[in-house]
Structure 1
Amino acid sequence: MNSDLDTDTAAARALFQSLEGMEGLSRPEPAAAAKGATRLPGQSALIKLYPGVLVAVTIALASQWLAQHYGAPVMLFALLFGMTFHFLHQEGRCIPGIEFSSKAVLRFGVALLGARITASQILGLGLTPIVTVIVGIGSTIGLGAFLAKRMGLRSSFGVLSGGAVGICGASAALAIASVLPRGKDAERDTILAVVTVTALSTIAMITYPLLTAALHLDHTRAGIFLGGTIHDVAQVVGAGYMISPHTGDVATYVKLLRVTMLLPVVFTIAFVVARMGPGAAGGAKATVPLFLVGFAALVIVNSLGWLAKPVTDAANEISRWCLVTAIAGLGMKTSFKDLMTAGWRPVALMVFETVWIAGVVLVAVEFFT
């Protein structure tokens, strides 16, 4: 006959085993109970993923709170916090959830970016901004791939960094990284690209409005310049409305045009990678990533006016949280030590790419607008 002391001891043991599971330590399954219990569909996957996903979401929440109170980029906070919890990705129960956050949650967040964009917004800009954006993005990615080889870096990092600088900062870096070959330094390169592009975007948000004033650009041309050069959407909005509401509107639409380019750029990279892969000679075919299909479908549906504003607002908010959670997961997969081994060359490359795209857009604004 069990005593109260035995009951309390069993309860305490179960509690400590649960806490160990949250810490990422392995927990043995009760043999007798596990065999006779019936599981709901997907319950095993949920049990396997929830510790790592819960940690990533918690980091995202903390990062958002700090970003709101201190005005720093939320992506940067999520990265740094994630990297401090790198030990959770080295062993234990958190690994599957961290992998899920950095891959599946990321792709879902990128797909939802399509809800921001409509065809009328893009076409309303006119021909010059559209051509400028296409030339700027294409030349920046090409320049990145070219200079990466000359600087002793992998060409894939040049494509990754060029896409991040040219399109939409951290979001583009994550999307492009998801279709690039998975080398041993792939995670480190992605983290490095996100950290650098976020820092450069913050610097640009502060300095570029001063540059437009020094160059005596009117509000429309200033909006085109800011939207065509600053990396992240949030910094574009901040810099544009810092000058005037009209400048902010123009900058936002130009930036959305750059976000639209994420679809053809990522698809092209995925196609090229598939053709160059080990199975290319054997007739392997490039497949369209599902998150790009979702991105394109949302752009089309939103352009047709089938999405109400509350729906698009909710999609944008969910997308933002997914990307921050994915960044936290990606951070947990990377150590400070691995990041420091990259050296100064990747940062120098991204600075040069930033200067390049700023020069391309400035020439277009001064002579063709």
Structure 2
Amino acid sequence: MTAQGWVDTLRAAVPGLTVALVIALASKFVSEHYGAPSMLLALLFGIALNFLAQDVRCGPGIAFGARTLLRLGVALLGLRVSFDMISALGWPIVGMIVGAVIATIGFGLGAARWFGFRHRFAFLSAGSVAICGASAALAIAAILPKDDKSEDRLVFTVVGVTILSTVAMIIYPALIGLFGFDDTTSGIFIGATIHDVAQVVGAGFSISESAGETATLVKLLRVSMLAPVVIVAAMIIRASASAPTEGERPPLVPGFVVAFIVLATLNSVVALPQAVTQVAQGASAWLLLIAIAAVGLKTRPQEILKVGKPAAALLLAETVFLAIIIVVALLLLPTPSP
């Protein structure tokens, strides 16, 4: 796209982006004052105003927010991870996390048929549970082939994993005592099982400062799995596309995933100023919040309800599966050093 083309696109997007931004600001305000998850609030507020997506003035900006800002936000997540996490956690824990992510996605793909779903919703739901909740759902949805139910599946998944994350934030710290975990092991469990970063931080630090720090580190390792999972999925989708023309073939590696990897590598090999990483992380959080508001604006409530109880049951089954395999692995592994 030429420079003038970008200018025209941005000019047309201003009204819709303004609506999404206002929703994001309102969601953040309510979240900070009443404790509700900002992602969930942005989605619900957007759904309540979904009629604006049909307005010719707002439509282009809402579509721009749900696609372009989403990808920018995911790319900037790369600055939240670094290769140093591996040495900090130790290879047994790293192997456990990687194995749990793969196993949960495999479980979702295998169990989906029992719940009446095919591979698209299975991968979307299992990937969001296994990796990083709403952020993973947004990234995975960006590479999946689109159909008339794509937006509904995405919205349902974001709502589902956010609610499950909030419930887990409350329940998991209370359950940890049953297994006799110390603070370090408790932090690993929290970081390896709760879906969204904010709820991981909340649950971890509710136990102790060391548990919170460990939980955050483990969670960021799960976030780093986003790039390889999306790359492998994109390659499979590209290879299985039925007789596409050259222009219709999905990219081998999505551009936003390349940016994620480049930024993660940069964060690993260069000592970036803390101010830079904080600004980038804040920008990522706001871009994703605006994007999810835009997704909500594009969603009709009656279509979400059609996804139904089987989808909720599948999300719950994937969440329980992940928790069980992490508990078993932690009971079998040597106790990590704090």
* TM bucket normalised to smaller: over 0.9
Contact 2:132 2:196 in 1 (8 A): yes
C-alpha separation in 1, matches of 2:245 and 2:49: 41
Partner of 1:289: 254
C-alpha separation in 2, matches of 1:69 and 1:231: 22
Partner of 1:21: none
C-alpha separation in 1, matches of 2:307 and 2:65: 24
Question: How has the CA–CA distance of structure 1 residues 41 and 140 changed in structure 2, closer, same or farther, with 3 Å as cutoff?
Answer: closer
Q: Does 1:80 align with 2:44?
A: yes
Q: Which amino acid aligns with 1:70?
A: Y
Q: Does 1:62 align with 2:26?
A: yes
Aligned-residue offset at 1:135: 1.3
Deviation per CA, 1:157-191: give whole Å up to 9, x if none: 01000000000000000000000010110000000
Contact 1:228 1:258 in 2 (8 A): yes
C-alpha separation in 2, matches of 1:149 and 1:159: 12
C-alpha separation in 2, matches of 1:137 and 1:41: 40
Q: Which contiguous aligned blocks of 4+ residues in structure 1 show a shift greater than 4 angstroms? A: 39-42, 280-286
Residue pairs, 1:34-113, within 5 angstroms: 42-113=6-77
C-alpha separation in 2, matches of 1:93 and 1:280: 33
Contact 2:234 2:250 in 1 (8 A): no
TM-score by length of 2: 0.94
Contact 1:275 1:284 in 2 (8 A): no
Aligned-residue offset at 1:47: 2.3
C-alpha separation in 2, matches of 1:177 and 1:46: 23
Partner of 2:85: 121
Deviation per CA, 1:182-210: give whole Å up to 9, x if none: 01100000000000000000000011111
SS in 1 for 2:308: coil
Q: Which amino acid aligns with 2:132?
A: C
Question: How has the CA–CA distance of structure 1 residues 40 and 107 changed in structure 2, closer, same or farther, with 3 Å as cutoff?
Answer: closer
Q: Does 1:312 align with 2:277?
A: yes
Residue pairs, 1:174-189, within 5 angstroms: 174-189=138-153
C-alpha separation in 2, matches of 1:250 and 1:196: 25
C-alpha separation in 2, matches of 1:271 and 1:70: 42
Question: How has the CA–CA distance of structure 1 residues 90 and 154 changed in structure 2, closer, same or farther, with 3 Å as cutoff?
Answer: farther
Question: How has the CA–CA distance of structure 1 residues 71 and 284 changed in structure 2, closer, same or farther, with 3 Å as cutoff?
Answer: closer
C-alpha separation in 2, matches of 1:41 and 1:138: 41
Question: How has the CA–CA distance of structure 1 residues 280 and 140 changed in structure 2, closer, same or farther, with 3 Å as cutoff?
Answer: farther
Q: Which amino acid aligns with 2:327?
A: L
Partner of 2:290: 325
C-alpha separation in 2, matches of 1:281 and 1:308: 45
Q: Which amino acid aligns with 2:237?
A: V
Contact 1:223 1:249 in 2 (8 A): yes
Question: How has the CA–CA distance of structure 1 residues 286 and 108 changed in structure 2, closer, same or farther, with 3 Å as cutoff?
Answer: closer
Contact 1:156 1:180 in 2 (8 A): yes
Q: Which amino acid aligns with 1:366?
A: L
SS in 2 for 1:249: helix
Partner of 2:325: 360
Aligned-residue offset at 1:134: 1.1
- Residue ranges of structure 2 left out of the alignment (5+ in a row): none
Q: Which amino acid aligns with 1:187?
A: E
Q: How many residues align?
A: 331
SS in 2 for 1:344: helix
Out of 166, 169, 174, the position equivalent to 2:130 is 166
C-alpha separation in 2, matches of 1:164 and 1:200: 11
Q: Does 1:214 align with 2:181?
A: no
Query: Which structure has the higher relative contact order (CA within 8 Å, separation 6+)?
Result: 2
Deviation per CA, 1:221-253: give whole Å up to 9, x if none: 111111100000111111111111111111111
Contact 1:163 1:176 in 2 (8 A): yes
Out of 322, 334, 338, the position equivalent to 2:299 is 334
C-alpha separation in 1, matches of 2:84 and 2:131: 19
C-alpha separation in 1, matches of 2:238 and 2:170: 40
Q: Which amino acid aligns with 2:149?
A: D
C-alpha separation in 1, matches of 2:244 and 2:251: 9
Q: Does 1:347 align with 2:312?
A: yes
Deviation per CA, 1:330-356: give whole Å up to 9, x if none: 001111100111110000000000000
Structure exhibiting the larger radius of gyration computed from Cα positions = 1
SS in 1 for 2:65: helix
Aligned-residue offset at 1:85: 1.2
Identity %: 44
C-alpha separation in 1, matches of 2:19 and 2:293: 9
Aligned-residue offset at 1:45: 2.1
